[in-house]
Amino acid sequence: MKYALVIPDGMADEPQPELGGRTPLQTASVPFMDEVARCGVVGRADHVPHSMPSGSDVGTMSLFGYDPLRFHTGRAPLEAAAQGIVLEPEDWAIRCNLVTIEQGQMRSFTAGQIRSSEAAELLDRLQQALPDRFGLRAEHWRFVPGVSYRNLLLYRAGGTPAPFGPDTRTTPPHDVTDQDVGPFLPQGPGSDVLRELMKLSEELFAEAEPNRRRAAAGELPATSVWLWGQGRAPQLPPFVERFGVRGAVITAVDLLRGIGRLIGWEVIEVPGATGYLDTDYAAKGRHAVEALRDFDLVVVHVEATDEASHEGDVKAKIAAAEQIDRHIVGPLLEALRRHGEYRLMVCPDHPTFLRTKTHSHGFVPFGICGSDLSADACTSYDEAAAEASPLVFQRGHELMPFFLGTQQA
């Protein structure tokens, strides 16, 4: 049996007045997703417990079959794992976005999609300033450049307890778009350190050379870092031991790479995969089809639908859904049918509403077809069809063993 899972990140949405009361998914031309629905079953799953912030760290962990209430420790440790960073039991990782804040409002949580080289230059400037400020010892604190605006701050304990704890509260910057940032600054234990570091970055970045170059080119500057998503390393049992299936994941996002590595999956890098609207959908589809030869389960994650919602761009969200359908779902469905015994699932990790430009709680639609599945009455894959289905997973992590048709260890 071969399995494939396609994750159109944040694709689930609300009916849009400008679309005549339809959702972007209902509006998009997605014949292959609809084929999955016609040949298989449609239902809905809730991957983000209401007691937890909505995001891909929680949603994809659930989608992969791991109860986030049991296994989730924070977003940043997952991204650290993607970079091969090993956290000791008392170490912490903190997500470090480069952002643009103007007149106290979050204008861009990506600093205008800042280049990785510019981000690294700014973070080095900040790292060099640490020993002289706040009494922070540089050996404990380390900024780690990532891709574009997505970076990390590590706290290496070395026998010194971290200032953070379970009551430390931070907010993802993409949840603050177009809002005053004051109410969303870090709160609780260790928040004073995080706030001081954010303030220091604002001072240092103001006249930094990368920002002068960006301003001259008419691009948004990175006005500061935004610290959030803190946590210690999670303990995730290997996927193959729980489900008896060897997996691989294709993604352009460190968060998914990290979860994949922590559960023992192969991470397949695809040239041209950007984690944005300009990603190479066709390349992801080709690599996924090729990976079916070597792995039992191939997971393809696409960030573009989520990014479109964060930007409030309904046309881009529709276009991204159509690209995913054409270049990923279609080729995978054809390849799986040639193989013989198979199952294919399409399922977002969480809703991301165009109206709010942020992640939301609630159900997402899934569609599953396979050589051993009988079709239900659904003829389309969308939120309305899922809402009408009796197939419901209140605890989203139970969807994976249903999809695999295996017993969870």
**Whole-number percent of the chain with pLDDT over 70:** 98
Which amino acid is present at 92? W
pLDDT for the residue 276: 86
Q: pLDDT at residue 85 above 80?
A: yes
At a CB cut-off of 8 Å and minimum separation 6, what does 264 contact?
238, 239, 240, 247
Q: pLDDT at residue 333 above 80?
A: yes
CB 151 within 8 A of CB 201: no
Q: pLDDT at residue 131 above 90?
A: no
Mean residue pLDDT of the chain comes to: 95
Cα 377 to Cα 8, 40, 106, 114, 143, distances in angstroms: 23, 9, 45, 47, 53
Q: pLDDT at residue 136 above 70?
A: no
pLDDT in tens, 259-304: 999 999 999 999 999 888 999 999 999 999 999 999 999 999 999 9
At a CB cut-off of 8 Å and minimum separation 6, what does 404 contact?
3, 243, 245, 297, 343
pLDDT for the residue 266: 97
Whole-number Å distance between alpha carbons of 325 and 311: 21
Whole-number Å distance between alpha carbons of 142 and 122: 13
CB 109 within 8 A of CB 195: no
pLDDT for the residue 254: 87
Confidence band for 16, pLDDT divided at 50, 70 and 90: very high
Q: pLDDT at residue 130 above 90?
A: no
CB 263 within 8 A of CB 239: yes
Q: pLDDT at residue 226 above 50?
A: yes
For the domain covering 2-72+235-404, report its CATH number: 3.40.720.10
Q: Which residue has the tokens 């209430």?
A: 69
Q: pLDDT at residue 362 above 60?
A: yes
Confidence band for 408, pLDDT divided at 50, 70 and 90: low
pLDDT for the residue 237: 97
Looking at the chain, the domain(s) classified CATH 3.40.720.10 span 2-72+235-404
Q: pLDDT at residue 409 above 50?
A: no
Per-residue burial over 227-239, b = 16 or more CB atoms within 10 Å of its CB, e = otherwise: bbbbbbbbebeeb
**Whole-number percent of the chain with pLDDT over 90:** 90
Q: pLDDT at residue 407 above 80?
A: no
